[in-house]
Structure 1
Amino acid sequence: MAKDKIPTSRIARTAKVSSLAAGQAARHLGTRATNIARSDEGRSAALEKRHVEAAEQIVTALGTMKGAAMKLGQVMSFLDVGLVPEEHREEFQRKLGALRDAAPNVSFAGMRKVIEQELGGNLKDHFREFDSDAIAAASIGQVYRAQLHDGRDVAVKVQYPGVAAAVRADMQNLGIILRLMKRIAPGLDVKNTAEEIRSRIYDELDYELEAQNQRSLARIFKGHPFIVVPAVVGELSAERVLVTEFVEGDGFDSVKEADQATRDRIGEIVFRFYFGCMYRHRQFSGDPHPGNFLQMRDGRVAFLDFGLFKVMPKHLIELELETQRAGHEGDAERLWEIWAEGGLLKHPDKFRPDKLLSQFLDATWWYLTDEELELTPEIATQVMIDMADPRSTHFGQMRHETLPADHIFGRRVETLTLAVLGQLSARANWHRIAREWIYGDPPVTELGRQEAAFYG
C-alpha cells in the first residue's frame, strides 16, 4: 500500500481495530485469572500495568486511522478519564498530544490534487504563494499557509484524499472502538456516545457547511475585545477545501507553561466563548479542545475549527437556563418539574427530586457553586465519572432514560470545556461569570465588563 494512502475499506480497518480489541480481551481475562492468587498490592500493580498497556495500544491504533477513530484520539488527548494511573499520566498525555499535533503521512501531491479538483485550474491560479509543508493536522485534514494574489495571508484546510470512505468505515467500527475504551473507562456510555458521534461526524466532512458555521460566528464576534473568529474566504471554499484569514499565536502547550494570571485569563476567555456561544447566541462549536484556539500577540484569543457545530432551539436554551437556576438554588422540586414538563424524562414518576438534583449537580456544580475554584484534570475526570459511571450513586435512576440529543450535546460541550480549563489549572469564580447569562447579572470581572460594553 502506498505510504500516503489512508486505509478505507471496512475489512482493512476492522481487522486493525478487532485485533486490538481481541488482544485487550485476552489481557483482561488473564489479569483477572492471575489476580485470584495475588495480594491487594499485586492486584493493583497488575491493573495499573494493564491500563498502561491498553492506553498505549489505543494510541497506536488511533494513530493509524484518520477518521472518526482519530477524532476520539483528539478528545482523549486532553480529557483525562482515569485511563491510566496518575504516575503514568504525564507520559500518556505526551503521547496523545503528539498524536493530536503530528502531521499525517500524506504527500503534498495528493493534497494538491484535492485543492485543484475542488477549486478548478492550477494552484497558482488561486494563490500567489503556497507553502507545501503543513502547519497543522486535523482529524480529517491538514492546514497549510498561503498568500492570495491580493496579498492576504490565509490558512488553507484541505481534506485528506479518501477520508470520507475512512470515516464511513470508522462509523461501522465505532462500537468495537468504544467497547475497547470501556474496558479501562467503565463509565463510558457506549450507546449514547456512539449515537452522538454518528449524528455529527458526517457534518465535519462538508467544509462548505463549516464555512457557513464560521461565518455566522465571525459576524457575531467582529470587533470583539478579546475573541477572534477568522473570516472565511468564501470564493475559495468548497466541500473539501476551506480558506480563512490566517492568524498567528501561541498554542496550548505554550499557554500551559504561562504564569497563573495568564492561564486564568485564557481560561475565562475559553469559558466565555464556549458557554457564551451556547447560552447567549444558541449556536456554538461542539468541539472544545486545545488545538482549536491560539493566544495572539495582542492578548486576544483566536478560535478555530467549526466543523462540529450546533444551533440550539430557543426553548431548549431557556429550559437549560431554568434548570441551572433551580440547580444553583437547590430547588429539587422545581428541577423535577422543569425536566418532567420539558420532556427530558420519559418516566418522571420514577424519579426522586433530590436524587435528580444530585445527578444534575454532578455535572454542573463547578459553575453553579458560588466560590472561587481552581480547576484540575482530576475534577474533569470526576465529573465525567459521576455523570456516566454505573457505580456512581445516581446512575441507577437514569440508566433507562434516553435524554434528548440536544441536551446530551450541551452537556458534552460543558464537560469538554471543563477538561480544557482543568489542563490550564485555571482559577475563577465560574458561577459569578455564568450569572451573566443565567440571571442577567452585571459582570464582576474586567473581561466581563469589556464584553458587556461590546454587546451593549
Structure 2
Amino acid sequence: MTKDIPLSRARRGAELGKLIAGQAVRGASVTLLTVADTEAERVARTERALADAAEDIVTVLGSMKGLAMKAGQLLSQFDLLAAFGADTLPPRQRERFQHKLAALCDQSPHVPFDRMRSVIESDYGREIGAVFSEFDEQPIGAASIGQVYRARLADGRAVAVKVQYPGIDIAIRADLKNLALLTRLVRGIAPALADHAMLREITTHFADEIDYRAEADHHRTIAELYRDHPFIRIPAIETELCTARVLVTELVEGLRFDEIVALPATERDRVGEILLRFYVGSMLREHRFTGDPHPGNILLAPDGKVAFLDFGLFKHMDEIAVDFELACARAAAEYRGTELRVLLADYGVLEPDSPATPDECLRLLHEVSGWLLTDAEIRIPEDAAANSLLAFVDPRRGYFENWRREYAPAEHAFARRVEYGTLALLGKLHAAANWHRIAREWFYTEPPRTELGVLEADWLASRATE
C-alpha cells in the first residue's frame, strides 16, 4: 500500500530529484567498481545494482502516480540496461530487471480504499451501496491516474470500476511544470527516450486523461468500431455511471499479459497478430486509435478473444497524415529511396537542404520498421523496440547527426508510439509472423493472407452492409 500521493510541485520535484541522484550514483559506482572485479564479481555487483535500481524506480514512480508513473511505464517497455553498462548481462538478469519494472503497468502500490471511496461517493452524491450491490475493496489494478475495482450492479452484472486518485489532477499539473526534471530522469535511465518526439507527445496529451468523461467517449467510439468483432473484444461501457473521476465498464475476466507470455508459441503468435491488427490496423484503417499499448491493457478472454482496456490516451489522424504514413511504407518496402526522401521533404519531416541521402532514408526506415517492411516470417526479439527507437538517437548508429534536428509532426510522433509499443509487446511474446504480408492489407489494400485476416475481412464486409 502506498503512502499519500505527493501533490505539490515542490514535493514531487524533490522525489524525482532524489531518484535521479540515486540512479546517477549507482550507475557511476558500478562503472568504477567493476574495473577491478572478476567476471563473477562484476555480474553479481551489476545484478544487485539493477535490482536496487528497479526497486527504486517502481517504488518512487509508482507511489507518485500521474505523469511520473506514466514515464516509468514507458521506460518499462524498453531496454534500460545500457545505463548500467550491462549490454552483456545474462538473460536471467535482464528478465528480472524488466519484470520488476513491469509492475508499473498494473501492480503499483495501492491507495487505501477509504480515500478512494470518498471520490466515488463525492462524484455520485450518494453512498457506494446505493450505486453498487457489491463492491470489492481490494483493487484488481493500479494505473497512473486511478485504481480499478471489481463490483456488481443491482441487476447482477459484474463491472470494473476505475476510480481516479484524489488530487491526481493537481499532481499532473505539477508534473507538467516539472517536465524538465522528468526528462532528466528519463535521460539518465534511457537516453534514447529523453528528447524523442514520442515522449513530448505523450506528456502534451496526458492532461487530457484527467476527465474520465472524455475517456468514456473514446471508449464508446472504439467499442462501436469493433462491435461483434470475431477476435477483438472491447468491454461495454456503462455510460450513465461514468463521471469525471469514475469510469464503469463491463468486467472482463481472462489471462493477463504475463500469463499469455507463458502460453505455447502458436497461441502467442495468434495473440501477436491480433495486437498488430488492433493497434496498427486501427490507425491505418480507421484513423482512430488508442495510443497506449502496454501489458496492463490486454487480457486473453476464455473464448479466445483479446480484450483491450483503457482508452484515455486516444488519437485521431486525418486522412492526409495516414496517406503519408502509407506512402512512406510503400516507398520503403519497394526500396524507392529517392521517392521516399521527396515524400519526407515535401511533408516537412526533412528540411530541403538536409544532408540525409535517399539511401540513408531507406536504411533508417528499414532499421526502425523493417519487421513491417520485409516479406519474410520474423520472430520478434525482446529488444526489437529498444533497438528501433535507439536508431534515431544513438550516435553510434550513424543517423543521429542528420536526423536530430528534423521535425516529427505530433500525429506521427504518436504513430511511432503505437508502432514501438506494439513491437515491444510482440517482443515480450516472442511472436512470429510474416508481419509485412499482414500489413499489406493496409499498405496496398490487398486481400488477407492469414486465417485471422479472412475472419476480419468477412466481419468488415458484414459491417459495410448494415
Q: Same fold (TM over 0.5)?
A: yes
Q: Which residue of 2 aligns with 1:216?
A: 221
Q: Which residue of 2 aligns with 1:145?
A: 150
The worse-fitting range, judged by mean Cα deviation, of 177-186 and 135-144 is 177-186
Task: Note the C-alpha offset of 1:52.
Answer: 5.8
One of 86, 94, 97 as aligned partner of 1:92: 97
Taking every aligned residue pair, what percent have the same amino acid on both sides? 46
Q: Which residue of 2 aligns with 1:62?
A: 61
1:78 maps to amino acid: Q
Task: Note the C-alpha offset of 1:320.
Answer: 0.4
Q: Which residue of 2 aligns with 1:385?
A: 390
**Residues 153 and 48 from structure 1, CA distance in 2 versus in 1: closer, same or farther, beyond 3 angstroms?**
closer
Does 2:322 align with 1:317? Answer: yes
**Residues 391 and 157 from structure 1, CA distance in 2 versus in 1: closer, same or farther, beyond 3 angstroms?**
same
CA distance in 1, matches of 2:179, 2:41: 31
CA distance in 1, matches of 2:176, 2:198: 12
Task: Note the C-alpha offset of 1:136.
Answer: 1.4
**Residues 194 and 413 from structure 1, CA distance in 2 versus in 1: closer, same or farther, beyond 3 angstroms?**
closer
Does 2:263 align with 1:264? Answer: no
2:157 maps to amino acid: R
Equivalent positions of 1:144-183 (< 5 A) are: 144-183=149-188
Equivalent positions of 1:4-83 (< 5 A) are: 5-27=4-26, 53-83=52-82
CA distance in 1, matches of 2:452, 2:31: 53
One of 304, 307, 328 as aligned partner of 2:309: 304
Task: Note the C-alpha offset of 1:169.
Answer: 2.0
Does 2:366 align with 1:367? Answer: no
**Residues 430 and 411 from structure 1, CA distance in 2 versus in 1: closer, same or farther, beyond 3 angstroms?**
same
One of 243, 248, 263 as aligned partner of 1:243: 248
* Unaligned residue ranges in structure 2 (runs of 5+): 462-466
Task: Note the C-alpha offset of 1:346.
Answer: 3.2
CA distance in 2, matches of 1:287, 1:72: 12
CA distance in 1, matches of 2:353, 2:148: 48
Equivalent positions of 1:101-112 (< 5 A) are: 101-102=106-107, 104-112=109-117
CA distance in 1, matches of 2:38, 2:415: 40
Q: Which residue of 2 aligns with 1:203?
A: 208
Q: Which residue of 2 aligns with 1:415?
A: 420
Q: Is the 8 A contact 1:174 1:194 kept in 2?
A: no
**Residues 400 and 185 from structure 1, CA distance in 2 versus in 1: closer, same or farther, beyond 3 angstroms?**
same
Does 2:409 align with 1:404? Answer: yes
Q: Is the 8 A contact 2:231 2:304 kept in 1?
A: yes
Task: Note the C-alpha offset of 1:184.
Answer: 4.0
Superimposed CA distance per residue, residues 197-235 of structure 1 (whole angstroms, 9 cap, x where no aligned partner)? 321111111111111101001001111000011121111
* Unaligned residue ranges in structure 1 (runs of 5+): none
For residue 395 of structure 2, give the secondary structure of its aligned residue in structure 1: coil
**Residues 137 and 23 from structure 1, CA distance in 2 versus in 1: closer, same or farther, beyond 3 angstroms?**
closer
2:77 maps to amino acid: F
The worse-fitting range, judged by mean Cα deviation, of 363-372 and 79-88 is 79-88
One of 188, 195, 198 as aligned partner of 1:190: 195
Q: Is the 8 A contact 2:348 2:407 kept in 1?
A: no
Does 2:325 align with 1:326? Answer: no
For residue 142 of structure 1, give the secondary structure of its aligned residue in structure 2: strand
Q: Is the 8 A contact 1:229 1:303 kept in 2?
A: yes
Q: Is the 8 A contact 2:71 2:186 kept in 1?
A: no
Task: Note the C-alpha offset of 1:190.
Answer: 2.5
Q: Which residue of 1 aligns with 2:258?
A: 253
1:326 maps to amino acid: A
CA distance in 1, matches of 2:227, 2:23: 49
CA distance in 1, matches of 2:424, 2:358: 28
Superimposed CA distance per residue, residues 104-129 of structure 1 (whole angstroms, 9 cap, x where no aligned partner)? 33221211111111122222222222
**Residues 434 and 418 from structure 1, CA distance in 2 versus in 1: closer, same or farther, beyond 3 angstroms?**
same
Q: Is the 8 A contact 2:3 2:63 kept in 1?
A: no
2:159 maps to amino acid: V
Superimposed CA distance per residue, residues 67-98 of structure 1 (whole angstroms, 9 cap, x where no aligned partner)? 11111222233333444634321211222233
CA distance in 2, matches of 1:110, 1:59: 22
One of 262, 269, 279 as aligned partner of 2:284: 279
Task: Note the C-alpha offset of 1:31.
Answer: 6.1
CA distance in 1, matches of 2:425, 2:282: 16
Superimposed CA distance per residue, residues 132-176 of structure 1 (whole angstroms, 9 cap, x where no aligned partner)? 221111111111111222332211110011111112222233322
2:78 maps to amino acid: L
Task: Note the C-alpha offset of 1:12.
Answer: 1.3
Task: Note the C-alpha offset of 1:418.
Answer: 0.2
The worse-fitting range, judged by mean Cα deviation, of 181-190 and 325-334 is 181-190
**Residues 342 and 50 from structure 1, CA distance in 2 versus in 1: closer, same or farther, beyond 3 angstroms?**
same
Q: Is the 8 A contact 1:379 1:422 kept in 2?
A: yes
For residue 244 of structure 1, give the secondary structure of its aligned residue in structure 2: strand
The worse-fitting range, judged by mean Cα deviation, of 274-283 and 152-161 is 152-161
1:384 maps to amino acid: L
**Residues 290 and 182 from structure 1, CA distance in 2 versus in 1: closer, same or farther, beyond 3 angstroms?**
same
For residue 369 of structure 2, give the secondary structure of its aligned residue in structure 1: helix
1:218 maps to amino acid: A
Superimposed CA distance per residue, residues 6-27 of structure 1 (whole angstroms, 9 cap, x where no aligned partner)? 1111111111111222334445
CA distance in 2, matches of 1:226, 1:194: 31
2:449 maps to amino acid: V
Q: Is the 8 A contact 2:7 2:167 kept in 1?
A: yes
**Residues 264 and 193 from structure 1, CA distance in 2 versus in 1: closer, same or farther, beyond 3 angstroms?**
closer
The worse-fitting range, judged by mean Cα deviation, of 283-292 and 355-364 is 355-364
One of 429, 432, 450 as aligned partner of 2:437: 432
The worse-fitting range, judged by mean Cα deviation, of 348-357 and 201-210 is 348-357
